[in-house]
Structure 1
């Protein structure tokens, strides 16, 4: 079963490795007995991703991406292993899809004349209010 990231990008199942382990934290007997947490590992360098997307992923400042270029996602939110497995795959998909989105250039804007006037009036009012807080001569 492969991971469909977008209409024209699919990751093969052998590129994603998943390891089940016991979840951390509170949860009673179930947490102590059953390996429901999932560690998903995805090697960016060894993947079939296009070069541009691979470079953008490696350039991300994300704690989930190691220095070696391996994405590590820990999923332990749900009580069942299958739900955590699906959650980890979904989060990997969101990470890659987020990099695929083109960055829209920022349009520089200026405050309007009336906005500048309102800001200056507000500054004057605050200054007058603070000036009234001074010492009072008897």
Structure 2
């Protein structure tokens, strides 16, 4: 996933290492005394707004997909504290960022075109409704 020159998202997109910033913070949760001493959680920051590798449409989709993980300055912040080692958390954060960017690279589907039912389909629907109403009308009380 991670190359020496950056983060490989797919075969054509490589995020340069200069656009990424990592900081190690203390993680909460289980782990005993080790949690209070060792900064194993990773905070990965990607300056998406200033990055030259993303097209404007991809950047817009990325910021929308990132939701609360995006800052108002166009940075994506991913925190990883799932594992107990720095290295595994670092790989986890990088992988999650790569998946998020890969999802943003997929263009949205074209808008749905409005269609109308054919004349035959409308006639068949009305005929079925008329037949069903006749069946239900026949279920009334029987008079002597």
State the TM-score, normalized to the length of structure 2: 0.69
Compared CA separation, residues 27 and 11, structure 1 to 2 (3 A): same
Matches within 5 A, 1:1-138: 1=4, 2-48=6-52, 49-60=54-65, 62-105=67-110
Structure 1 or 2, whichever has the larger Rg, is 2
Deviations 1:96-134 (A, max 9, x none): 111111223458899xx7xx98xx9xxx9xxxxxxxxxx
d(CA) in 1 for partners of 2:114 and 2:88?
A: 44
Task: Count how many residue pairs are aligned between Structure 1 and Structure 2.
Answer: 115
Post-superposition offset of 1:61 = 6.1
User: Which sections of structure 2, spanning at least 5 residues, go unmatched?
Assistant: 118-124, 137-144
User: Which sections of structure 1, spanning at least 5 residues, go unmatched?
Assistant: 125-138
State the TM-score, normalized to the length of structure 1: 0.72
d(CA) in 2 for partners of 1:27 and 1:71?
A: 28
Whether the 8 Å CA contact 2:44–2:77 is kept in 1: the answer is yes
